[in-house]
Every structure is written in structure tokens, then in C-alpha cells.
Structure 1
Amino acid sequence: MSDFSLAMNLLFGSVHLILMAMAIPSIIYALYLLRKIANK
């Protein structure tokens, strides 16, 4: 049981890291688009 819960924790941890790594560039890109729209 402990091995299973450890595997699940590793799985959710890696998914969380991937989501964070994907969210940061998309936030930067969204801010860039907003500035382009505002400069018009």
C-alpha cells in the first residue's frame, strides 16, 4: 500500500511540475499579447 501511495505521489508531483512549466510561458505570452493590444 505504501509503495502504491508513493507512486501516486510521484505521479501527481510530476504532473504538477509539468503543468507549472507549461503555465509560466503561457502567462508570459498572454501578457505580451495584452501589451500588443494595448499599444494599438
Structure 2
Amino acid sequence: MKRGFTLIEMVVILGVLAILAAILVPVVEKSINEARVARA
């Protein structure tokens, strides 16, 4: 087993992270806004 990541593995990991970020960012923003409204 060789050390380090191949280019393909890096692309796959970046793709998965991008998908996760695209899902999580709106959810986090929504909860922050709801918390701000509840506190005000």
C-alpha cells in the first residue's frame, strides 16, 4: 500500500465535502436565524 492520496481520491473527497457543505450551510444558517429571532 503506497502512502498518501492519489489525485482521484482527493477529487472524490473534495466532492463529498462540497456536497456535505451544500447541505449543511443552509441548515446552519436557518438555525442561527431562528435562534436570533427567539432571543430578540
TM-score, normalised to structure 1, is: 0.72
Runs of at least 5 residues in structure 1 that lack an aligned partner in the other structure: 1-6
Report the Cα distance in structure 2 between the residues aligned to 1:39 and 1:25, rounded to whole angstroms. 22
Number of corresponding residues: 34
Which of 25, 28, 32 is residue 27 of structure 1 equivalent to?
A: 25
| Bigger fraction of residues in helix | 1
The residue aligned with 1:3 is none
One-letter identity of the residue aligned with 2:21: A
TM-score, normalised to structure 2, is: 0.72
The residue aligned with 1:4 is none
Runs of at least 5 residues in structure 2 that lack an aligned partner in the other structure: none
SS for the counterpart of 1:15 is helix
The alpha-carbon deviation at position 23 of structure 1 amounts to 1.1
The residue aligned with 1:17 is 15
